[in-house]
Structure 1
């Protein structure tokens, strides 16, 4: 996975700024160009009486221009990356962004958290829901308040690894991205258990950690630094709380039940997104990697 063009969905308010802050960080580290977009309601499908349809189009155009001007104001001090601004009509903002992905040939789409969530956490609203079940490119979500942190940093990429073919492909893409943005790669496996683990289980986790670390070292061939951790908790939230996610983007693979080349949110991924204290990037489900790339991951 190589990021050369980032699409950031923008709406007025803090959540729009949160998404822009993450998009700017990613664009800087990847050396990518950025398109800031606002999805607005479409014109009426049939003309109304008198000039009402023309007046509506004029109103929508004026509102859209004002919203994009707010985005420009937020980006006024950003001079080190290339930024374009555009709009797209659609009744669903997520569906409109999916259309724009194809229109501008973006490599990733970035948005902020929906209103009403906890500070530092991600809440999935209608826009994210549409993207997380239809986008053909990775979807990155910024937690609430991310744009208020000054200049966020990216210190490493973290992959939530489930030891299945989808996660194998996610690891392959993640270490390619880590090499591009020049940060270490960390792999974490979340082990959910409602009871205290027995000694034999702890030994099994230790062997799992060593095997996955060895596989990753062989696959990455030293191109990026790799750290591996196995985190246990009574649920996803408590297991994930054991991870230090400051300065990280958490990468997740789509559900194996979803369609190829689309992001598709599974139950575990949904819990990770809701529990993560950092930005999360969901990858679309891709065909299995070619032999010799990541095929060894997940095998004993």
Structure 2
């Protein structure tokens, strides 16, 4: 597994590293994880600068960033595979996506906006751009995130629209790779599906059917449970569920997303504001970067 981690010289960068470490250490074989710590400097590389003053300034930024990146690398425990990179691009999001392509990464990890409330998400411009264009899953660390000793559960929020099966596959494979329980949440009751008068009852039936399919996919590799979140709003429904500080939530992309691209839908956006734990957003009809992964995982 290869993770591109967006590093900035603030707590948002440290939280992204914390989440990348949590995801890496929780793998059955942490040695399989490779962390590409990437810092993006806006503008041209010094050798491509249009003037002497611009070249000097970009070199200064690169030297300053190198000091920060050495500190960032020091946050990674010895024995883990990690490298630092300083890249130049028109924006941080553009630079991270270029790094994902260059390194053939499986996941990109970023922190929430620095102004976000504690243990909640406020999506900044970088995360927002990634959540509407990334070809690989995007992992978001909430404000104030500290890495747990281990990830204890993966929760997958599933609906009935096209693309839900790929989210289930990613969640099942990721939970099995970490030997942790998988919890499925049915959001059907929140979809306001006009074809079902009793949406709550139908949501439970959907959860049960999803549970059966998930159990078949796990092949006894982990424990699977299912729950239904209901409430007056998505935020209220999310708050009715119990959350562990050490769990990860997996959600899919909107039906508006292009194939193998992320586009954060309205339901996921509302979930994002209510969740107190990290979230991984999966591209629509996700195909893993490396075929050896199987169905796909993070």
After TM superposition, the score normalised by the length of structure 1 is 0.85
RMSD: 2.3
C-alpha contact 2:62 2:86 (8 A) present in aligned 1: no
Distance 2:286 2:122 in 1: 29
- Does the 8 A contact of 1:193 with 1:232 survive in 2? no
Which runs of no fewer than 5 residues in structure 2 stay unpaired? 288-293
Cα deviations across residues 233-259 of structure 1 (Å, max 9, x unaligned)? 111111011222212110011111111
* Structure 2: distance between partners of 1:218 and 1:73: 42
Residue 188 of structure 1 is matched in structure 2 by: 185
Match of 1:297 in 2: none
Q: Deviations over 1:21-41 (max 9, x none)?
A: 000111112221111110112
Give SS of 1:233's match.
coil
The 5 A counterparts of 1:1-300 are: 4-30=1-27, 31=30, 32-43=33-44, 47-48=50-51, 51-75=52-76, 78-147=77-146, 151-190=148-187, 191-192=189-190, 202-246=200-244, 247-286=246-285
Is residue 10–residue 20 contact of structure 1 (8 Å, CA) maintained in 2? yes
8 Å contact from structure 1 (residues 122, 274) kept in 2: yes
CA distance in 2, matches of 1:79, 1:41: 30
Which of the pair has more CA radius of gyration?
1
Distance in 2 (alpha carbons) for counterparts of 1:251 and 1:167: 11
Q: Matched residue of 2:240: which SS?
A: coil
Cα distance in structure 2, aligned partners of 1:265 and 1:211: 25
The aligned length equals: 277
TM-score by length of 2: 0.86
Contact 1:156 1:183 in 2 (8 A): yes
